[in-house]
């Protein structure tokens, strides 16, 4: 049975006070408090900039053992290079994540492709071939042409996960291609029935390995609270 890692996309939201963060909690203490209630977070900052060793060392110090940081790959890899001839910059980016990896706090690296990039078997095979196997990778494809058995086969061979991302424009198939699962939950709110369905889905995923899931809520604490409810339902 795998481990459920449930959290949100980011943590720096004062709007989560007072229902998640205490009303008087300083923003500098948000991460250390967040990590007392949830066991993972998805980092979007790395999409815009390479993280410094100082910053990652600080995050390591502010989170407990077993906490995982999922990291969005830098835009220079996915949106500027578009995975093409990107071996060196990808290696540099992964090397920058070593403080997290050395502390055993690095979760999957998420490669989120632009919606205008269509399936390219040779491109995906070449990029996957250049990834080190000890860095778990997940791929969020935002063009429907990627949802094909040819793409799934390449992902499975590399033990890379197909990210199941909710979107108003595109529905990602529930296909598992790695020994872990990666879900991005984007709705503003979830009904009790939807949460029950999600829990059942997670139960199936955990039979195959770890599951990482991230709610997206900047304006309200609902995503963080939903993640906490799921964690408590699996680990009372």
Q: pLDDT tens across 114-163, in order?
A: 999 999 999 999 999 999 988 999 999 999 999 999 999 999 999 999 99
Q: Residue 150 is encoded by which pair of tokens?
A: 């040819």
Contact 198, 230 (CB under 8 A): yes
Structure tokens at 83: 């995975």
Domains detected in the chain? 4-234 (3.20.20.410)
Contacts of 125 (CB under 8 A, 6+ apart): 154
Percent over 70 (pLDDT), the chain: 100
199 vs 4, 73, 190, 195, 227, CA distance in Å?
11, 28, 12, 6, 11
pLDDT of residue 170: 85
Average pLDDT (175-191) is: 93
- Checking if the pLDDT of 236 tops 80, the result is no
**pLDDT classification of 168: cutoffs 50, 70, 90:** confident
Residue 7, exposed/middle/buried by CB under 10 A (0-12, 13-18, 19+)? buried
Question: Tell me: the pLDDT tens digits for 30-55?
Answer: 999 999 999 999 999 999 999 999 99
Find residue 4's DSSP bridge partners: 211
> In the predicted model, what is the mean pLDDT of residues 171-179?
94
Question: Which pLDDT does position 205 carry in this prediction?
Answer: 97
Length in residues, the chain? 236
């Amino acid at each position: 049975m795998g481990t459920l890692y449930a959290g949100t996309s980011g943590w720096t939201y004062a709007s989560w006070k007072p229902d998640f963060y205490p009303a008087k909690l300083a923003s500098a203490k948000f991460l250390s408090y967040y990590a007392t209630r949830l066991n993972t977070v998805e980092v979007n900052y790395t999409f815009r900039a390479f993280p410094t060793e100082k910053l990652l060392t600080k995050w390591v110090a502010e989170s407990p053992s077993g906490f995982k940081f999922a990291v969005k790959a830098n835009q220079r890899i996915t949106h500027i290079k578009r995975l093409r001839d990107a071996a060196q910059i990808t290696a540099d980016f992964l090397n920058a994540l070593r403080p997290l990896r050395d502390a055993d706090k690095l979760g999957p690296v998420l490669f989120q492709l632009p919606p205008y990039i269509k399936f390219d078997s040779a491109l995906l095979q070449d990029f996957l071939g250049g990834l080190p196997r000890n860095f778990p990778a997940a791929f969020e494809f935002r063009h429907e042409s990627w949802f094909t058995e040819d793409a799934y086969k390449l992902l499975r061979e590399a033990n890379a996960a197909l990210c199941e991302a909710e979107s108003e424009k595109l529905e990602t198939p529930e296909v598992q291609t790695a020994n872990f699962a990666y879900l991005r939950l984007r709705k503003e709110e979830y009904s009790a029935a939807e949460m029950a369905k999600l829990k059942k889905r997670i139960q199936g995923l955990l039979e195959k390995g770890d599951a990482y899931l991230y709610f997206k809520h900047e304006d309200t604490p609902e995503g963080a609270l939903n993640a906490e409810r799921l964690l408590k339902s699996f680990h009372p």
